[in-house]
């Protein structure tokens, strides 16, 4: 991350602010919240909010004060997701459900979601609350669609994009858009940052799904082919299947239904052979291009430079 | 319910409104939401909101439009609670987790919570959103405390009240208080309705807990002693234990740890013998008295009359 040096002071200010809203009547709510918030993570969403605020001329500290909203919302969904996926590890650390069982993380997620919206309301900006509530409802719907479509090898590209739009892109889009809202920027700036975040979010999730086929467990915290194991069909597999003969498709169907270790390995090999990873990465590159183009309405600005670099980084990242 | 005839048109208007915000990109989110919303229930929270609005002079229809907020929030917590409690039946109907498994109801709860806050934001009243977000965070904390204190026979009266405050009273208090907020009423009216709802909520939950010791499964939808079976210590048992000899306490401890059918029956019998039910009911009666007194600042008004009758009904109800 060549831009890391530039964003470091912002990230440190965000880190300092995160966790200052967790005091709870029940110590356990606070404990679980801190545990998940400290599980690392890139703090991408609060960072985008702060940079977008700066780009739109708001740099009075309010953007730092409100930045935790986006991390709280994000980790609230992670808490619920991990319960739903029965996940044991996240970024190499035991998940909250692994430590506390299922029930407490469900409630800690509700607690964090509520704290995020409380903090948003403290901005005095109804539009912010409105957009965040809408985003939360989309997040839940994206997740529901993903679950409904689990084990569906015939998932269409359109359905895939609906899922990743809901589960990833809407919150990233809201993070950058709301920077403009906080700054009271004109509608075209708000729309530009919405588009930037949306395309960035789609690219981000596609690359996440590509990395599932290549990342080592050590680097990425998940074994290769984890999505397939979970019955999740993602873009690389969708593209690979398009290039398959009828015979090959039948073969994949059998392997996908059995999903033993050797089946997963065979599917991973096939996806690579059919150029599923390149094709999906190309799609992500297209989205990153659109994200960067969306920022063209803004004059030169240090925050703009960083946002452009973040977009490029989404493609390059290997974790 | 002698007042039922009077509130019937309001309840019908609320029922009509509930469910008009559930359209979702994923049909399943809507389906689960409708399922839980149609599981009956008294619609107490939206009713209190509407009556409080009327009492404070707002009767322009906005109170009906916003009333579903309180039912959505309530059933969102029910969805999560039933997953947490691994409940199979609610009001004699299979729970959502019984029908769809655990994962979908968690997300449907998130979806409904988000829709509630979206609807609240549409009021244009930041204070409403703020209070609801705070309420949601308290609800989650109350539930967490209840779980932490499960199987704790030494639960104190103070801890019991902290739990029922979070899990029941705060939302009922918010429902009546926000009627005043919507009407733009003076602060003393807001505080009076907050107090009314809070005390009503405490009484409501105490009676719920008393009914757990006497209600038949047919009437109440739950078998007698269900709370004990779940390791939940409530006010009747706390009061009964206070009246026990050391020997009796030791006996209860053994029975509570084993919790076989005959143990539960023995504890129920003891609680009755030690007047735990009367003492708890008396506490509820005190709260109802406080609730009614809180309304003394209001001049005579049809809505006031109904609120007073609802308070009395909380004590009389047998389901």
Chain A interface, mutation test: which of B83, B106, B109, most A Cβ atoms within 10 Å? B106
Query: Residue A94: its pLDDT value, please?
Result: 80
Number of domains composing chain B: 1
Query: Residue A259: its pLDDT value, please?
Result: 93
Interface list for B 278-307 with A (CB within 8 A): none
Does B19 have pLDDT greater than 70? yes
Contact assignment for B118 to A110 by CB distance below 8 Å: no
Global ipTM: 0.83
Contact assignment for B115 to A102 by CB distance below 8 Å: no
Query: Residue A78: its pLDDT value, please?
Result: 87
How many CB pairs lie under 8 A apart between chains A and B?
150
- Chain A CB contacts of B66 below 8 Å: none
Average pLDDT over residues A24-44: 79
Q: What percent of chain B has pLDDT over 90?
A: 67
Residues in Cβ contact with B158 at an 8 Å cutoff, skipping those fewer than 6 apart: none
pLDDT in tens, A251-266: 999 999 999 999 999 9
Query: Residue B266: its pLDDT value, please?
Result: 95
A249 within domain boundaries: no
CA distance B154 to A297: 65
Contact assignment for A140 to B107 by CB distance below 8 Å: yes
Contact assignment for B110 to A136 by CB distance below 8 Å: yes
CA distance B26 to B40: 24
CA distance A238 to A154: 8
- Chain B CB contacts of A106 below 8 Å: 80, 83-84, 106
A213 contacts A236 by C-beta, under 8 angstroms: yes
Q: Residue B86: closest CA among chain A residues belongs to which residue?
A: A103
Place of tokens 């708001």: A58
Pick A118's closest partner by Cβ from B134, B141, B147. Answer: B134
**Interface residue B207 vs chain A (CB under 8 A):** no
Query: Residue B120: its pLDDT value, please?
Result: 94
Give me the half-sphere count of Cα atoms (radius 13 Å) on the Cβ side of residue A39: 22
Question: Residue B94 forms beta bridges with which residues?
Answer: B89
More confident of the two residues B156 and B22: B156
Pick A80's closest partner by Cβ from B106, B138, B145. Answer: B106
**A293/chain B closest Cα distance in angstroms:** 29
> Across chain A, how many H-helices and E-strands are there?
18, 2
Grade residue B160 by pLDDT with cuts at 50, 70 and 90: very high
- Strand A89-90 to strand B93-94: parallel, antiparallel, or no bridges (unpaired)? unpaired
Closest C-alpha among B40, B35, B60, B39 to residue B50: B60
Chain B interface, mutation test: which of A76, A107, A132, most B Cβ atoms within 10 Å? A107
- Chain A CB contacts of B107 below 8 Å: 80, 84, 140-141, 143-144, 147
Closest C-alpha among A196, A188, A208 to residue A49: A196
Q: Residue B101: closest CA among chain A residues belongs to which residue?
A: A84
Cα Rg of chain B, angstroms: 20
Give the least confident one: A33-37, B112-116, B178-182, B253-257. Answer: A33-37
A91 contacts A106 by C-beta, under 8 angstroms: no
Contact assignment for B118 to A130 by CB distance below 8 Å: yes
Pick A121's closest partner by Cβ from B102, B126, B140. Answer: B126
**Interface residue B24 vs chain A (CB under 8 A):** yes
Average pLDDT over residues A216-244: 84
Query: Residue A218: its pLDDT value, please?
Result: 52
- State whether the Cα torsion A198-B120-A62-A119 is positive or negative: negative
Query: Residue A216: its pLDDT value, please?
Result: 53
The tokens describing A52, both together, are 């977008």
- Chain A CB contacts of B163 below 8 Å: none
**Interface residue B122 vs chain A (CB under 8 A):** yes
For chain B, give the mean pLDDT: 90
The tokens describing A181, both together, are 């809202």
CATH of the domain at A102: 1.10.600.10
Residues in Cβ contact with B210 at an 8 Å cutoff, skipping those fewer than 6 apart: B235, B236, B277, B280, B281, B284
Domain that holds residue B12: 4-316
Chain B interface, mutation test: which of A133, A159, A165, most B Cβ atoms within 10 Å? A133
CA distance B190 to B211: 31
- Strand B93-94 to strand B89-90: parallel, antiparallel, or no bridges (unpaired)? antiparallel
Grade residue A228 by pLDDT with cuts at 50, 70 and 90: very high
**Interface residue A121 vs chain B (CB under 8 A):** yes
Closest C-alpha among A202, A98, A85, A196 to residue A150: A85
CA distance B86 to B111: 20
B22 contacts B33 by C-beta, under 8 angstroms: yes
B57 contacts B183 by C-beta, under 8 angstroms: yes
- Chain A CB contacts of B77 below 8 Å: 110
pLDDT in tens, B203-224: 999 999 999 999 755 555 567 8
Contact assignment for A107 to B147 by CB distance below 8 Å: yes
A261 within domain boundaries: no
Read off the DSSP letter of residue B57. T
Does B35 have pLDDT greater than 90? no
Place of tokens 């004699």: B92
Average pLDDT over residues B76-95: 79
3-state SS, residue B56: coil
**A230/chain B closest Cα distance in angstroms:** 14
CA distance B269 to A23: 41
A268 within domain boundaries: no
**A115/chain B closest Cα distance in angstroms:** 6
**Interface residue A31 vs chain B (CB under 8 A):** no
pTM of the model: 0.88
Interface list for A 39-78 with B (CB within 8 A): 77
Measured from the Cβ of residue A316, the count of other Cβ atoms closer than 10 Å reads 9
Measured from the Cβ of residue A152, the count of other Cβ atoms closer than 10 Å reads 13
> Across chain B, how many H-helices and E-strands are there?
18, 2
Interface list for A 150-179 with B (CB within 8 A): 162, 166
A262 within domain boundaries: no
Does B8 have pLDDT greater than 70? yes
**A167/chain B closest Cα distance in angstroms:** 12
A172 within domain boundaries: yes
A155 within domain boundaries: yes
Does A91 have pLDDT greater than 90? no
A136 within domain boundaries: yes
Contact assignment for A130 to B115 by CB distance below 8 Å: no
3-state SS, residue A315: helix
CA distance A250 to B48: 59
CA distance B240 to B259: 17
3-state SS, residue A89: strand
**B87/chain A closest Cα distance in angstroms:** 13
pLDDT in tens, B39-62: 767 899 999 999 999 999 999 999
Measured from the Cβ of residue B106, the count of other Cβ atoms closer than 10 Å reads 30
Average pLDDT over residues A135-157: 90
pLDDT in tens, A263-299: 999 999 999 999 999 999 999 999 999 999 999 999 9
């Amino acid at each position: 991350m060549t831009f890391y040096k530039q964003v470091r002071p912002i990230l440190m200010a965000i880190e300092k602010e995160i966790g200052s809203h967790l005091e709870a009547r029940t110590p356990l709510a606070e404990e679980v919240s801190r545990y998940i918030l400290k599980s690392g993570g890139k703090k991408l969403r609060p960072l985008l909010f702060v940079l977008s605020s700066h780009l739109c001329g708001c740099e009075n500290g309010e953007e730092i004060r409100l930045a935790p909203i986006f991390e709280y919302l994000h980790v609230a969904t992670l808490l619920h997701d991990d319960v739903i996926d029965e996940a044991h590890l996240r970024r190499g650390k035991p998940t909250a459900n692994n430590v506390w069982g299922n029930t407490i993380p469900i409630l800690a997620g509700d607690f964090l979601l509520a704290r995020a919206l409380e903090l948003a309301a403290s901005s005095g900006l109804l539009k912010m609350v409105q957009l965040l509530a809408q985003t939360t409802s989309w997040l839940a719907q994206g997740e529901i669609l993903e679950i409904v479509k689990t084990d569906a090898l015939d998932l269409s590209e359109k359905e895939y994009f609906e899922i990743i739009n809901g589960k990833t892109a809407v919150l990233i889009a809201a993070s950058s858009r709301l920077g403009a809202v906080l700054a009271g920027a004109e509608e075209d700036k708000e729309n530009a940052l919405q588009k930037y975040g949306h395309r960035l979010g789609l690219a981000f999730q596609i690359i996440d799904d590509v990395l599932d086929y290549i990342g080592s467990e050590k680097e990425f915290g998940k074994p290769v082919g984890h999505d397939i194991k979970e019955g999740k069909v993602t873009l690389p597999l969708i593209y690979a299947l398009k290039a398959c003969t009828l015979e090959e498709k039948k073969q994949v169907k059998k392997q996908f239904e059995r999903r033993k270790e050797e089946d997963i390995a065979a599917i991973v090999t096939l996806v690579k052979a059919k150029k599923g990873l390149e094709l999906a990465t190309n799609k992500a590159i297209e989205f990153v291009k659109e994200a960067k183009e969306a920022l063209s309405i803004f004059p030169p600005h240090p925050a703009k430079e960083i946002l452009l670099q973040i977009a490029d980084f989404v493609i390059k990242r290997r974790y």
